[in-house]
Amino acid sequence: MAAGVGTALGVPLSGAELASHAAEAAQAMERAETDQERATAYLEALFLLGGIPADRLGEVRTCLARMHGERHLWCSVPESTRTALARLKAAGLLLGVVSNSEGRVEEALEAAGLRDYFDVVVDSGVVGIEKPDPRIFQAALQALHVAPEEALYVGDLYEVDVLGAQSAGIEAVLVSTCSIEELAHSLLSGDRPMTTPSRRMEQP
């Protein structure tokens, strides 16, 4: 993504540079209300933090739309993520994806080489329900034949993922507080991961 946008705009831009701003850009998503707004807020913040001038964001959007049409943007993952998922799958855990998307989650997972790790994929664009609605989480539980108290949900947005999962009776972990690799190690070693509380502590 970084290389494609950098080439199109004629500016130096690296994946490592964008990745270093991912956590800060994710905060912009918390202020958005819809999934489309969240994606736009995240990407705009990411490229602004990466040094793209605000007056060139229109060019960035055009480039990303073209790239997304050619190959799903959200299909690049670290090799360590594949390793962690493989370990969880080999241990006999049932894994699922619950995603707010436009009906292309299966395609993105296939492109990333991750689809085989998951037993169930629930795409809001297919089922017509978006997180944080508890019904989309319940759909995944039903497909997996798992009770809420037996499940653990991992997400990157507090309002959408954590509160949504908790509203369906599922404990949740905010991925910004630990990596997928750390979570897998914790689960497989018998330690209970530290879940995210239902309300953030107020800052003094």
pLDDT in tens, 38-62: 778 888 888 888 888 998 988 988 8
Give the largest Cα separation in the chain, rounded: 52
Q: Check residue 164 and give its pLDDT.
A: 96
pLDDT in tens, 146-193: 999 999 999 988 889 999 999 999 999 988 667 788 889 888 887 766
Of 26, 25, 21, residue with least CA distance to 161: 26
Contacts 24+ apart (CB under 8 A), 108-113: 108/72, 108/74, 108/75, 109/75, 111/71, 111/72, 111/75, 112/75, 112/76, 112/77, 113/82
Question: In sequence order, what are the residues at sequence separation of 6 or more whose Cβ sits closer than 8 angstroms to the Cβ of residue 82?
Answer: 113, 114, 117
Q: Does domain 79-188 have CATH number 3.60.15.10?
A: no
Residue bearing the bigger pLDDT, 65 or 103: 103
- Give the helix ranges, DSSP H, for the chain: 2-9, 15-19, 22-29, 35-49, 57-70, 79-90, 105-112, 124-127, 134-144, 163-167, 180-188
Q: Check residue 204 and give its pLDDT.
A: 36
Domain boundaries, the chain: 2-70, 79-188
pLDDT in tens, 84-95: 999 999 999 999
Confidence of residue 200 (pLDDT cuts 50, 70, 90): very low
Confidence of residue 201 (pLDDT cuts 50, 70, 90): very low
Confidence of residue 140 (pLDDT cuts 50, 70, 90): very high
Report the mean per-residue pLDDT for the chain: 84
Percentage above 90 pLDDT, the chain: 37
